[in-house]
Amino acid sequence: MERASRIFVSWFCENIETGNFKVKIFCGLGDNGGDGLAIARMLQQLNYDLEGYVVKYSEKLSENFKINQKLLERQLVIN
């Protein structure tokens, strides 16, 4: 999950010009949602302006989602 997220973030940074825009990330509750949370964490570390959304359609969360949710929560800076 970390490796795939790092590869995406690398591609994103190389191909998307930074500017006055907000990156919006929508996540489900499964493993792909965990990828989205990891990407959000990594982009936040690079000082991108982010908005993240979790679409809570169930009470069941994948283990990868839970892990990445905790990592992101530890890093969040609330303005």
pLDDT at 76 over 80: no
Average pLDDT, the chain: 91
Query: Per-residue pLDDT averaged across 38-64, rounded?
Result: 93
pLDDT band at 77 (very low <50, low <70, confident <90, very high): low
Predicted confidence at residue 29, as pLDDT, reads 97
Query: Burial code of 27-63, b = ≥16 C-beta within 10 A, e = fewer?
Result: bbbeeebbbbbbbbbbbbeeebeeebebeeeeeebee
pLDDT at 12 over 60: yes
